[in-house]
Structure 1
């Protein structure tokens, strides 16, 4: 997959085509194996957590030429990946709340 194709996916708002591509899936697996399926941020802090995400250090929207570069990938757990992207966890209210106490 070339840079122009990746850029086209991003500009059309269909970046999931990239993330479902054979090239990405293979490279993602290589990155996970390289990092022993461990979150690298947790590992740097002396903790262990399984890596569920493969993060682009330099974002695909900014650097589509590095989208398939193994040196631009970092394996992270979901919590650390959300932290890197400054996403906050949404606190949900329970679906059912019964005021009555037995």
Structure 2
């Protein structure tokens, strides 16, 4: 195994990897200086955690974006179609929540940067299609 020295702290690390200690410190500082503290407190709240699990069970633990493409993939995230910063009052609205795998979640947030309204409409259509298919 080939090693190198971390440019920040001087620890010995494997070539091609990041320093674990510096990565943790960077994330700690990022969390400390985030501007969306209200949203982050909400996501740490038991009410949200419970609702998120209910939604995951409602959709059988599947990523609905993958399901719409004929692929069965386990979900990792309960996503707000209309984001909290857009409409705080919809944070617990079950019709505003969709289950996604991490890959789809990342792609959807990237798509929000370009065509948010179109992407939100597409996600609502997926929910509607799922509910009609399984008569929910």
| TM-score (normalizing by structure 1) | 0.71
Cα deviations by residue, 1:45-64 (Å, 9 ceiling, x for unpaired): 00011000000011110011
The Cα shift of 1:73 comes to 0.2
Structure 2 stretches lacking a partner, 5+ long: 1-34, 112-136
Structure 1 stretches lacking a partner, 5+ long: 1-11, 88-102
| Residue in 1 that maps onto 2:82 | 58
Decide which structure has the larger Cα Rg and report it. Answer: 2
CA distance in 2, matches of 1:68, 1:22: 12
* Structure 1 stretches of at least 4 aligned residues deviating more than 3 Å after TM superposition: none
1:46 aligns with 2:70: yes
The Cα shift of 1:22 comes to 1.2
CA distance in 2, matches of 1:13, 1:65: 16
Cα deviations by residue, 1:50-83 (Å, 9 ceiling, x for unpaired): 0000000111100110001111000000000000
Higher helix share: 2
| Residue in 2 that maps onto 1:13 | 36
| TM-score (normalizing by structure 2) | 0.54
Question: CA-atom RMSD, angstroms?
Answer: 1.2
1:77 aligns with 2:101: yes
Number of aligned residue pairs: give it: 76
| Residue in 1 that maps onto 2:55 | 31
Cα deviations by residue, 1:5-32 (Å, 9 ceiling, x for unpaired): xxxxxxx521221001011011001100
